[in-house]
Chains A and B, each alone.
Chain A
Amino acid sequence: MRIVPATCVTFGICAAAFAAPATTSPPPGAVPDFSGYFVRVGDLWFDALEDDKDGKPIDRLTVNSPDAEDIWAGDSANPILQPWAREIVKQNAEAEIRLEHVYTADDSCWPSGVPQAVNLLDEVQFLQLKDRVVILYRRDHQARHVWLNVAHSANPKPSWYGESVGHYEGDTLVVDTIGLKSHKMSVVDPFGTPHTDKLHVVERYRPFRTPFGTGLEVIVRVEDPGAFTMPWKGMAEYRQDKTVNSFDEMVCAENDRSFAEGSTFGTIPEEKIPQF
C-alpha cells in the first residue's frame, strides 16, 4: 500500500492494492523497542556530527539582542546552500532579527514535513506493526506512515510527508523518504531552509539506555541537489517521558495562543474602516 495524495481520485490509476493487514507482532528480539512517548531534547534544530564528511546542517545564528531567545535566524554562510537557497535563509534571518517572524508550514497548520517534523518539541509516539511504523506527533495530531521492507514506488506523487519506506538494521530503524512536496512554505529546518522536489531524506532512529532513562538518537541525512551543494547530516535526540501515557490534544486550527501581544510575530495589521 502506498500513500495517495488527495488529488488521486480514480481507482485503477492510483497506488497498488492495499497489502494484507498485519495480524501479528514481529518475533521476539527482532526489532528495537520504540514503545512509550518521546519528547525532543536539546536544541530544536539539527546538531552537526563531528568528523563526518557530509555537510553540516544550518546552525542558529547568535544574535546580540534582548530578544535573542525568540530570534530563530539561520546561518546563511553555510556552504551547503545553493545560491537561491542561501538568499532565502539570509532573508529569513534578517526578518527574524527585525522581529518579523517568518511563517512556515506548521505555523499555518500545514504538515511539518520531513525532516523538520523531527524538530517538533512536543511528544512523539512510534506505533510498530509488522508491516509499518506509524509515527504520531502530538503537534496537530500529525501522522507519518513508514512501510517496512518494501521498495519505493517508481513515481510517487508528491505529498507533505512523502513516501517513507523503512527497515531495521540491528538496533536502528532506518527510514527513507522521497516524494516530498515542495511548497513555498515547506522547509527542512526551523530556519525556513527551503528544498525542492528532489529532496531525499534518510533518518536513522536508534534507542539507547542510560541511567537517566531511554533516549532516542536520530541522525538525518539530507540530499537535494536542487537546494544543497552537497548532502548534509544532522542529529537530534529524544528522551522517553515516562510521565506521559497518552497525548494531550493539540489542535492547530484552534489557535488558542495569542500572538498579538509580546511576541516576535509582530503586530497584526488591522483595518481602520470596515469595508463590508
Chain B
Amino acid sequence: MGRRVREEIFTGLIAVFALGSMTPATGAQAAAAPDMTGAWSRLTFGFEQPASGPGPIGRYLNRPNVGGDFNNPMLTPGAAAVVKQRSEMLRSGVDYPNPSLNCLPMASPYIFRVQEMQILQKKDEIVFLFMQDHQVRRVRLNAQHPANVTPSWYGDSIGHYEGDTLVVDTVGVKLGPAPIVDMYGAPFSDALHVVERYRLVDYETAKAAQERNIRDAGPVETQQAAYIDEGYRGKGLQIQFTVDDKKVFNTPWSAAVTFRRAGGWVENVCAENTQEYYNNGSTKIPQAGKPDF
C-alpha cells in the first residue's frame, strides 16, 4: 500500500489570508444563481413520471419486485434482452449485479436513487456528495465537454445557470460491469447523454411530489435511509432530467426526483455491508462445505 514521496522541506513560513472559496457564481450572475447549498433527502428509490412525453420504462406487469418492463417499445432489442434477464433473476429471488450492491459509483440518473445528497456550490464548480458510499460527483461550470472524453464512472459533467435553474449535461460515462440507468434494470451504453435541470420549488410542491412518488414507487425499506427535516418549511429541490441513449432507447425519455431538506447527514459505507442482504435471501452466497486452505 502507498509509496513514499520525498520532497524538500519547505523553509520560511508565511501565512496566507484570503477569501473562502465557496460562493455562488459571482459578478453578473451572482443575483441569478440559486442557492442550493446543503443536504437534501428523498424517501424512495423510484423516479417520478414526467408531466408529458415518455417516462422510464416502468415495471413489468406493473408489479413490484419483478423488474423492468422488457416489452416496453422504447427499448432496443438488445436492451430489452438485458432488462428481461434482470427481471427473471429478480423473479427467481436473486438480485442482479448493480452498482448499489457492488459498491461501485453510480452514474446519473441512477445515482438519484440515493436518498441523501449534498450540494456544494463554488464559483467554477459544483460538488455533489451522495450519502450512499460517500460518492462525490463534480460539475464544471461554464465549460465545454472535451472533444474526446475519456470515459469515467460519473462521466464528464458541465453545467450552467439559466435563471433560476441549474442545467447539468453529462456524457462519457464508463460502462463498468453493471451499467444501469434506472430502477428497472435498463442498461446504458457509451452513447448515454443525460441533461439534468435543478430548480428550487416551494414547500407544498415538494411535499406533494414526494408523497406522490412514494405512493407510486414505494418507500425505502432499509435501515440506512436518510430522513426529511419535517420542521423545515422552506424550498424543496426538484431535478427534471432527460436520458438520451440511442443504443438502448428508441426515444429520449424524462423523469424527475424531488428532494426536501435533510434531517441529518447519514454516514454510509458500502464495503462495510451492514445489511447482510445474504442472510435475508436477497442473494444466496454459495458456501464451501470444508475449507481447502
Tell me, rounded to whole Å, the shortest Cβ–Cβ distance linking B273 to chain A.
Answer: 10
Cα separation A176 to B43 with both chains bound (whole Å): 32
Q: Does B148 contact A (CB under 8 A)?
A: no
User: Would you call B264 and A9 a contact (CB within 8 A)?
Assistant: no
Whether B266 pairs with A6 at a CB distance below 8 angstroms is yes
Q: How many residues of A contact B (CB 8 A)?
A: 90
In the complex, what residues of B have CB within 8 A of residue A127's CB?
21-22, 120, 122, 127
Given contacts A5-B266, A127-B120, contact A210 B15 (CB under 8 A): no
The answer to the question of B205 belonging to the interface, with a C-beta cut-off of 8 Å to chain A, is no
Q: B147 contacts the other chain (Cβ, under 8 Å)?
A: no
A18 touching B15 in the complex, CB below 8 Å, given contacts A7-B223, A110-B269, A134-B120? no
A128 at the interface (CB under 8 A from B): yes
> Which residue on chain B has the smallest CB distance to residue A16?
B264
Given contacts A14-B263, A142-B134, A215-B10, contact A111 B269 (CB under 8 A): yes
Which B residues touch A237, using CB under 8 A? 7, 9-10
**Which partner residue on chain A sits nearest B35 by CB separation?**
A23
Residues facing A in B97-141 (CB within 8 A) are: 102-105, 118, 120, 122, 125, 127, 129, 134-136, 138, 140
- What's the minimum C-beta distance from B277 to chain A, rounded to whole angstroms? 14
**When A2-B264, A276-B288 are in contact, do A141 and B20 touch as well, CB less than 8 Å?**
no
Whether B92 sits at the interface, judged by CB under 8 Å, is no
Chain A residues near B39 (CB, 8 Å)? 1, 18
Q: Determine the interface band of chain B, counting residues with CB < 8 A from chain A.
A: 35 or more
Instruction: Find out whether the CB atom of A9 lies under 8 angstroms from the CB atom of B225.
Output: yes
Determine how close the nearest CB of chain B comes to the CB of A129; give it in whole angstroms. Answer: 4
Contact A208 B15 (CB under 8 A): yes
CB A269 to nearest CB in B, in angstroms, measures 4
Q: Which residues of B contact A (CB under 8 A)?
A: 1-23, 35, 37-39, 102-105, 118, 120, 122, 125, 127, 129, 134-136, 138, 140, 152-154, 176, 223-225, 227-232, 261-272, 274, 286-290, 292-293
Task: Report yes or no: A25 in contact with B22, Cβ–Cβ below 8 A.
Answer: yes
A34 and B102 alpha carbons, distance in the complex (Å): 34
CA distance A104 to B2 in the complex (A): 13
Cα–Cα, bound, A122→B210 (Å) = 39
Residues of chain B within 8 A of A107, CB atoms compared: 1
Q: Which of B105, B120, B268 has the most CB of A within 10 A?
A: B120
Closest 3 CB pairs of A and B: A33-B18, A21-B38, A171-B15
16 contacts between A and B (CB under 8 A): A1-B39, A6-B274, A16-B264, A17-B263, A18-B38, A18-B263, A25-B20, A29-B18, A101-B1, A127-B122, A208-B12, A209-B15, A212-B8, A246-B125, A254-B104, A271-B292
Q: Is the CB of B292 within 8 A of A29?
A: no
> Beyond A107-B1, A210-B10, is A253–B16 a contact (Cβ under 8 Å)?
no
Contact B17 A29 (CB under 8 A): yes
**Are B14 and A42 in contact (CB-based, < 8 A)?**
no
Chain A residues positioned under 8 Å from B292 (CB to CB): 269, 271-273, 275
Question: What chain B residues lie within 8 Å of A209 (beta carbons)?
Answer: 12, 14-16
Known contacts being A1-B264, A271-B288, A276-B286, is A22 close to B7, with CB within 8 Å?
A: no
CB distance from A59 to the nearest CB of B (A): 13
Q: Does A200 contact B (CB under 8 A)?
A: no
Chain A residues with CB below 8 A from B286, complex form? 276
Q: What is the distance, in angstroms, from A8's C-beta to the closest C-beta of chain B?
A: 7
Contact A130 B264, CB 8 Å, known A247-B138, A269-B293: no
A65 within 8 A of B: no
When each residue 139-173 of chain A gets 1 if its CB lies under 8 Å from chain B and 0 otherwise, what string results? Answer: 00111010000000000000111000000001100
Asked if A262 is an interface residue, CB under 8 A from chain B, the answer is no
Known: A11-B263, A17-B263, A21-B35. 17 other contacts (CB 8 A): A9-B223, A32-B15, A42-B7, A44-B2, A110-B269, A111-B134, A127-B127, A128-B22, A143-B134, A160-B269, A210-B11, A217-B13, A237-B9, A249-B154, A253-B103, A253-B270, A254-B176
B2 and A35 contact, CB distance less than 8 A: no
